Structure 1
């Protein structure tokens, strides 16, 4: 069990289910009709250039239907590869926790916004490899915004982290506060200088992409996770978590932007911050494992997370308009 869950052979048994799921929702998931059309005609659209070339390459060998199924499965596996790079005491819990996050929180990026999901997966995987000393992975990280422009924010964060990771927590807290002040007083001016075309400007000026919820689900998830981590995180626990600074600072720098989203109503920010939300989920899994998953309580939590997996998958099917 430990070998299977800690490595990518998870593809041997669970990716088949993911492919089946993506097959059954092929004609019900939101925006899927557009993707079927784009995969059959890769360059006749406004999509990012690297994603166009990706679709063109798959179109040589595969039908649009199969290409989308494989892309969604690849996104799932790359997410899991990033997740499994962080070692934890219980691989079973980490795997079950991952599925709850993948289908309960990130289902939109697994099966609806496919190019954003692919960009997030490539960007995160490249970032992890850079932290492991693979310098060539910078190519993947720099190119990830060309799969979806929403990855620009994560690219900026990672470059900033690479330059300032030796600084203390107090420095990063001050910069985080300064970020919020900048957004409140100067973001509108910056936006006017960027020269975005009318389509992308709608996301920032006309509330494009907002939902009917008072607080978007992903934003609520971010705040709940951040508060839970802050309450249960100890100095001893910090020292046991690999790449803790990278995981924690990604959330710390996301915090002022999420708060500004609530103030300004610019919904696109939470979508651009999904890589940081994913890293926060890894940190949340660590804290849960270290603080609660021990003794006889483990058996209760295994049953609980198995049930949560079923609920998360059903929720994903609901979001894909299948049930």
Structure 2
């Protein structure tokens, strides 16, 4: 049976069953990978994400009353991505090859409303999910390298050249530099090109403030300034439920300041701020060989490759 599920009003039994499907998927075919925490995902599923997509809508597949698979979709609340929805389809291994994945995908499509494209960014290479997506007409639009750093002694930061300065903060951006912070984030426009229709380059002070107000995580930022103007930025998030693990997010050096080792500088400086963190995870486009090398120089190791896949909503409705 396929039905919609509102996580906010669902029973505790259904909430935990939904999470159990997610946890089984996360560790599948990945020896040694730690399962996620329920508390972390219970919070995430009730909030918008960090790039302006609304809290998710769910459809679930039940067997004997128990949830054995789900479809999740988020639609953008920002005009820049009003054409796009994200979707995830997961079915427990013992219940695959029964058509549940296809049925969940069909049930998800009406939830994306008038969005022209559907993308999924959790398709790990070499897994059943890759075959499922390809068989249903999704194409690969980006390939990402997942990396992990086991934090030991932070590397030397090195000197900051004349005319440059580093600013570090936790939480919301200081009012005095929020415009330069936004300018640095929008430097993502120069990231390696993909075929994704996701737009990450139209941050505004207003959108950043909305995101800061909505987030449930602890966020650390290092901003590189040159004569008071944005030159680069790196951002790390820590889930309060797992304070020993961090997620390295955006790292950007603006074009006029590249070729001087600033990407490594700001990441190394960040590592000196994260007291109590034992592991840091990050993801980088497989096309971004420079940033992958920078991460290796800091001690990151490659773990797995995953993909973003995309389909036109009209094709899935056909």
> TM-score if structure 1 supplies the norm length?
0.29
- Which structure exhibits the higher relative contact order, with contacts defined as CA atoms closer than 8 Å and separated by 6 or more residues? 1
| Structure with more helix by fraction | 1
> TM-score if structure 2 supplies the norm length?
0.29
